[in-house]
Amino acid sequence: MVYILIGVILIAIIVPIISVLPSARQKERMQMRMIARAAGVSVELTSIDDPNPKQDKYIAYTGKPIPAVLKVVAYRLQRKRHSDWRNLPKVSWCRFRDLDNNWHWKSELNEAMNKQLAEWLEDVACDLPADVVQIEENSYNISVYWHEGTKGDEQAVLDFLKHSAELSLIEPNPEDLR
């Protein structure tokens, strides 16, 4: 009887400890985020407005609308700024993926935005992992919002961020090309 009581007490102590340990999927995500941080990319758990808000999942069982907010992971890379960045026009852009896996610009492009960057974004967006929801740049921060679905996809996201940061954001001034 004493052995049964000791066994039950040990189980009562060990089970909560085991349940707190991270799962294999959580360990995989932590490793993906560590790879991104090692590459100089900041990782943030955040919420964004769903680019596709008209879905049935945003209606409660009572029929009332629920806010169309997605919980995602943002991988961000700060773009290097020119010395006269305060005098340059403010340029920001945003592309999102619709339910049919097509990419769209969220708003009209600023005329000061580099055409080469815009064309490159249109070409390469389809190569991003399928769980990337939105990509944007605001205040010289390039962000990729995604769900971190498959291990190994983080390399495609990191390559996208690094190449985006290398391309000029502002259309070069014709006077500077001379």
Q: Tens digit of pLDDT for each residue in 86-123? A: 777 788 889 999 888 899 998 877 777 888 888 899 99
Domain ranges of the chain: 24-166
3-state class (DSSP) for residue 103: strand
pLDDT at 71: 93
Task: Answer yes or no: are the C-beta atoms of 21 and 27 closer than 8 Å.
Answer: no
Confidence of residue 74 (pLDDT cuts 50, 70, 90): very high
Q: What are the CA-CA distances from residue 3 to residues 7, 8, 12 (Å)?
A: 6, 9, 14
For range 54-64, the mean pLDDT? 82
Most confident of 61-70, 82-91, 110-119, 155-164: 155-164
pLDDT tens digits for range 25-57 = 899 999 999 999 999 999 999 999 888 877 777
pLDDT at 48: 92
Token code pair at residue 94: 């945003």
Q: Is the pLDDT of residue 178 over 60?
A: no
